[in-house]
Amino acid sequence: MANFNTVAGCFLASALFALVVGKVSNAVVDPHHLEKPALAVTDEAPAEAAAPAAVELAPIGPKLASAKVDHGKALFQQQCFTCHTIDKGGINKVGPNQWNLVGRKKASEPGFSYSSGMQAMGGSWTYEDINHMIFKPLAFVKGTKMAFAGLAKEQDRADVIAYLRTMNDSPPPLPEAGAAPAPAAAPEKK
Ligand code: HEC
* Residue pLDDT, tens place only, 105-158: 999 999 999 999 999 999 999 999 999 999 999 999 999 999 999 999 999 999
Phi-psi region of 87 (alpha: psi -120 to 50; beta: other; left: phi over 0): beta
144 lines ligand 1 (CB under 6 A): yes
Cβ proximity of 145 and 121 under 8 Å: no
Closest Cα partner for 148 from 43, 64, 100, 78? 78
What's the confidence (pLDDT) of residue 64? Answer: 97
What's the confidence (pLDDT) of residue 42? Answer: 46
Pocket perturbation via mutation, ligand 1, pick of 146, 156, 167, 168 by most ligand atoms within 8 A of CB:
146
130 lines ligand 1 (CB under 6 A): yes
The torsion angles phi and psi of 84, rounded to 5 degrees, stand at -125, 125
d(CA 118, CA 53): 16
Q: Which CATH number is 58-166 given? A: 1.10.760.10
- 52-59 average pLDDT score: 72
What's the confidence (pLDDT) of residue 154? Answer: 98
Residue 133 neighbours by CB under 8 Å, 6+ apart: 125, 140, 141, 146
Residue of the CA atom closest to atom 32 of ligand 1:
134
d(CA 65, CA 124): 21
Dihedral sign of CA atoms 73, 155, 93, 105 in order: negative
What's the confidence (pLDDT) of residue 184? Answer: 46
- 54-78 average pLDDT score: 93
86 lines ligand 1 (CB under 6 A): no
Give residue 88's identity as a one-letter amino acid code. K
